[in-house]
Structures are given as C-alpha cells and as structure tokens.
Amino acid sequence: VQLVESGGGSVQAGGFLRLSCAASGLTYFSYYMGWFRQAPGKEREWVASIYTTLGDTFYADSVKGRFTISQEKAKNMVYLQMNVLKPEDTALYYCAARVAGSGFSTKEADFPYWGQGTQVTVS
C-alpha cells in the first residue's frame, strides 16, 4: 500500500486548502481512510476519517464544521478540504489507511498504512 499526500502550503488565517491523498495497492474491499496531523512538539492527532464503502465521515471536534473529508473512489483519491484555517491548524498532515473489517478507530497505532506527510502552515 502506498499513500501519497499533496496540497499543503502556507495560508493566512481564515483561508483554505485542499489536501489530496493518492492511494495505491489497496487490495481489500473497504477501508477507513484517515487524516492525522502533528504539530511541532505535539503528538500526532486524528483529524478525520471516511469509510470508503458507504462514504460515512467522522471528524475531530476541533475541525468539525470547517474540514470536509471526501473520496473519489474511481481514482483511489481521498481529500481533505480545510476551510476557515486557524494558526492552530499548522501541522504536518498525514494520510493513513486501515482495513474496515477491523472497525472504526482514531488511534494512530491502529492505522498500518501511512503517507509521508504534507506541511500546512497557517499564519
């Protein structure tokens, strides 16, 4: 499994960005695709997930109403639309994948597949 993120950058507070995650090598029927982030000096935290089979979405309270996770199944793409960005959203953002049969989880350790990360800086 390979996950490749893109779309990070530097924006001013109140701005927006869309992150993309290109997935390949996913051999199971369904997954939870997630976005995590890690700010300097902090632990990696879960941001959002999508259940690929039905499109159900889940969000951390800190981003609910501002971020939207979506997928384009035909292209094996997952997106994170981030609106009304705040300085506290500054972090390295990672795409991650977990086989859906293992159940929903927000724990970093429960996601075996990870991308390399894309930096988001909000000033």
pLDDT tens profile 31-51: 999 999 999 999 999 999 999
pLDDT at 39: 96
Q: For residue 6, what are its two tokens?
A: 């893109």
Residues in the chain: 123
Longest CA–CA separation in the chain, Å: 40
Instruction: Say what percent of the chain tops pLDDT 90.
Output: 90
Residue pLDDT, tens place only, 52-63: 999 999 999 999
In the DSSP assignment, the letter for residue 88 is G
